[in-house]
Amino acid sequence: MNNLRGVYIIWYRDILRFWHDRVRLIGAIILPLLFLFVFGSGLSSRMGILGPGVNFAQFIFPGIIGMTVLMTSFMSGVSVVWDREFGFLKEVLVAPISRASVAAGKTLGAATIAMIQGAIILLFAPLIGVSLSPGIVLRLLPLMFLLAIAMGSFGVLLATRIKTMEAFQAIMPMITFPMMFLSGVFFPVEEVPLWMSILTKINPATYGIATIRQVALGGTTFELNLFGYTMSLWNNVGILAAFGVVMILLAVRSFGSQE
């Protein structure tokens, strides 16, 4: 019972900090909207139709949702570094709760914040001609949460090994930007050179972006191919879930070695 309460308190603290930091919320939404409306609208006429009735702006819309979830959940790991620098983490680690509870609370907090921001982007779907029924939205939310859990646990894992805010902020773009650009956010991953295709296939974010795009746009036009095998939505979910489980276990183990 103490461990469950510990998970809740750590999760609630991160949500509360996010809610009171309106600048952080606004800043995290402006960047995706710039990509969507400036980049998407500007290149839409040049790129033409990328699928049955799907223009470039509509194509990148699910990718922008995934990008928002990926970057927000990963960046939330900085709270671990922040708490360490200000001594709060040490107090948490000596509390009568398991280290696994601390890792779970931090991961759930990061995933919840990321899903909230991704859900806000969904509200702009009508402006670019993407029709999202309530049923589609209900299918998208768990997929967004799965991507957020996988990337959030990855961010927490790295944050447990990094000692300063400056180091984390320097490393974060070195990891998130390649993952973002090589996940199919802005272009179909099946129409790239071989070396890039290999990188996209070993990128776990690719499978999260693919599932969100398949559900949001419908049809089978944007399915992934892995070694000649056409990946179904559930295949993609399975790979992303496996990555998330591994990251969570590693984050728990890393928290166990914290001093």
Residues 6 or more apart whose CB falls under 8 angstroms from that of 130 comprise: 58, 61, 216, 217
Specify the residue for token string 């790295």: 158
pLDDT value for 147: 92
CB 231 within 8 A of CB 224: yes
User: Looking at residue 146, what is its pLDDT?
Assistant: 92
pLDDT number for residue 142: 92
pTM: 0.86
- Residue 138: both structure tokens together: 């209900």
* Residue 155 confidence (pLDDT): 86
Low-confidence spans in the chain with pLDDT less than 50: none
pLDDT above 70 covers what percent of the chain?
85
**What is the structure's pLDDT at 89?**
66
